[in-house]
Structures are given as C-alpha cells and as structure tokens.
Structure 1
Amino acid sequence: MNFFLQGLTMGIAYDAPIGLANLFVINAALTQTRRKSFFSTLIVIIFDVALAFSCFFGIGAVMKKFEWLQLAILLIGSLIVIYMGINLLRSQTTDISAEATPEMTIFKTITSAFVVIWFNPQAIIDGSMMLGAFQVTLPTYSYPVFIAGVGIASALWFIVLNAVVTKFKDKFNAKVLRIINLICGVIIILYGGKLLFNFITLLIH
C-alpha cells in the first residue's frame, strides 16, 4: 500500500501543473457536450498513462541518446501545437449550448490528444527524470504497484478536472468562453513557440 500511495502522489504531482493536457481537457469540457468531453478526457488519460509508463521505464533516455529523434519530435510537435493554438484563436463560438458545440470527430480527438501528450519532448524528459529517478529508489517487486498508483492518479485528476469544469460551464456566457478560448490559444501558441525555440537551439548547438 505504501508503494501505491507513493505512486498516487507522484502521479498527481506529475499531472497537476498547468500544461497542454490540462488545457485540452478544460477546453473540451467548455466547448463540447458532456459525453464528447468525457470521451476526450478518456483519450487524454490513455495517452498520459502510456507516457507515464514509458517515462518510468526510460523513454527519455532513448531520446537523449538519439538527438535526431528529439529534434524531429520538437519540430513536428511545435508546428502542430502552434497550429492548434491558432485554430483556437480563430474559433468564433457565440453559443455554448450543446446544439452549437463544434463538431469534433473521433479521429480528430484522438490525434489532437496524442499530439498534446506525446509531441512535447521536454515533458517526456522531465517525466523521465521524475519517474525514472524515483524508480531507482524502489525495489523491483514494487514497480507494478507504484506505476498503477501513477496511472490511477492520472485518471482521477483528469476526470475530476473535466467534471468540475463541465458542472460550472453553464455559468459562462459566450463572451466569457471566447475570452477563455483566447487565453488558452495564446498559452498553447507560447508552448509551441517554446518547443520551436528549443528545436532551433538544439539545431544550432
């Protein structure tokens, strides 16, 4: 139980900081129907847990070893993230009712969530340092229990985040939603710009 609780708290610490995944879940809860936003949240959870598992077992070390792989993910990821932010800025939502919810296909939801979670090499490396370093302190037999705690923490965090935003979204009018979209869009573009800057820096060096 001790190892499970360690994984649970580590998982919360891993997901809690505001990042692209949290912004994705918040925006889905605000702009989609309850059912669609919950589906989007489940997809984020699946990719996030998969990333946590990969970080725990050393994908960050692989990226550090193969610089070309890090460069490729940085370039592609930065451009896609910036594109997502621009699309959010351009959205002209004037009604936040279920009937006015923008159409989000299953394919688009899955690909967008995949990009948000997996095309941020800095997050992969940071996650590897956090989870990978913790792995060294654990006995081998505790790995399944610890990583299960991390996975459950991810599911709890995003489900609760989605539920809270969904519950209170009716209090937001179209103008407030537009402002939130603009803020989220700017933050996402800044994330993408940071990734692009990191790519240029690595390329020069």
Structure 2
Amino acid sequence: MSYFSGFSSGFGLSAALIAAIGAQNMFVLRQGLRREHVAPVVLFCAAADLVLVAAGVAGSGTVLKAIPWLALVLTLGGAGFLLWYGVGALRRAVTPGTLVAETAGGTAPLGAILMRAAAFTFLNPHVYLDTMMLMGAVGGALPGGARPAFVAGAGTASAVWFTALGFGARILRPVFARPVAWRILDGLVAAIMLALACLLLARALGPLV
C-alpha cells in the first residue's frame, strides 16, 4: 500500500467519524461563535485525536500480530459500528435540528476552557470506540509502512475539521440556524460511513466468498 493510499484512508475515515454532530463539535463551534480561546481549543482537540489514533494503531497492530483472527473480528465489528453510525446520521438528516449557541456572557479563563475541552474529549465513551478501537483496528490491519501515513491522514483530517469548525463558526452562524444545513452535513456523513462499512465488509468477507 502506498503512502498516499494509507494517508487517504486515515483522512477519509477520520473525517467521516469526526464530522458527526456531537458534544465536542458543538463545544468547539460554540467557542468559535463566542470567539473565545478558539486557537487553544482547536489545537487541543486536534492533538488529542492524533494521540488517540496513534495509540490505537500501535496497540491494535501489536495485538493483531499475536492474534491473527482478531483482525477479522475487529473489521466486522467496525463495519457494524459504521453501519449503525451511518443509519443514525441518516435519521438525523431526515429530522434535523437547529443549533442554538450561547454567545452572551464574559470570557472564561483559558484553563477552565481547556478543562471543558478535555471533558468533552475524554469523558465521551465514543472517543475510545471511534478513535482508538475502530481507527486503531483499521490502521493496525494495514502493512507496517502504511500505518504512519494512516495516522498522519487521520491527524490532518482532525486538524482541518476543528480549524474550520472553530474559525469558520463566525461566518457559519446564519447558515446553521437553518435545519437544512444540518440535513446536508448529516447526509454526507451517512453516505461516507455507509460506503466505508461496505468497503470493510468486502475486505473481511472477500477471502470467504
């Protein structure tokens, strides 16, 4: 597998997972709308994702070497999770909501804001299922030379997403006051996740067919 292939795989999977509307994304978007400590929040969230993906890939790669059949189990589990997540995004696309941001009030201390960012990141059980287990399983199953590229792609996707979300929030507020904007975003997330699930299933079941 080439460097570009590993990079694009990590970028695509990370982008699909991270774009789903959740507590962390809403927090980053709210900070962007408030124009409050945006750069530190973006840097923290992107760095946390990079570390979690790298840890997942490194750990899963070691386990997969010791237990070869585990790759199939993790791939099937990842495909099932992506299907579930994609269907959830599809449901949100059909019945979207409107994001309401709290922009009133003074500026909170940087330490308090970073503590909130850490809570939204590390107290969310999905971050371990998505970033460490799923990303780690997919990246760990790649050839050794492609794993750094996979991690780099995933980290780049996180950095691009959080930067766009945090610094682009000020111009997106009128757009995301409309439910149709969330419908389009969730529709794209659903399409990407369902497509990746099919690819994982094809990879896992291919040798058995």
TM-score above 0.5, yes or no? yes
Instruction: Map 1:62-101; keep pairs closer than 5 Å.
Output: 62-91=63-92, 92-98=95-101
1:116 maps to which of 106, 122, 130: 130
Residues 98 and 45 from structure 1, CA distance in 2 versus in 1: closer, same or farther, beyond 3 angstroms? same
Distance 1:193 1:59 in 2: 21
Instruction: Map 1:106-185; keep pairs closer than 5 Å.
Output: 110-117=124-131, 118-120=133-135, 121-126=137-142, 128-131=144-147, 156-157=159-160, 159-172=162-175, 173-185=178-190
Residue aligning to 2:15: 22
3-state SS of paired residue (2:96): coil
Task: Report the AA paired with residue 193 of structure 1.
Answer: C
Structure 2: tracts of 5 or more residues without a match? 33-37, 103-118
Give TM-score, length-normalised by structure 2: 0.59
Give TM-score, length-normalised by structure 1: 0.60
**RMSD (CA atoms):** 4.5
Q: Does 1:50 align with 2:56?
A: no
Structure 1: tracts of 5 or more residues without a match? 1-9, 100-104, 134-146
Equivalent pair of 2:75/2:200 in contact (CA under 8 Å): yes
Residues 199 and 165 from structure 1, CA distance in 2 versus in 1: closer, same or farther, beyond 3 angstroms? farther
Residues 73 and 36 from structure 1, CA distance in 2 versus in 1: closer, same or farther, beyond 3 angstroms? farther
Aligned length: 173
Distance 2:72 2:66 in 1: 12
Distance 2:74 2:16 in 1: 20
Per the TM alignment, residue 87 of structure 1 is displaced from its structure 2 partner at its CA by: 0.6
Identity %: 15
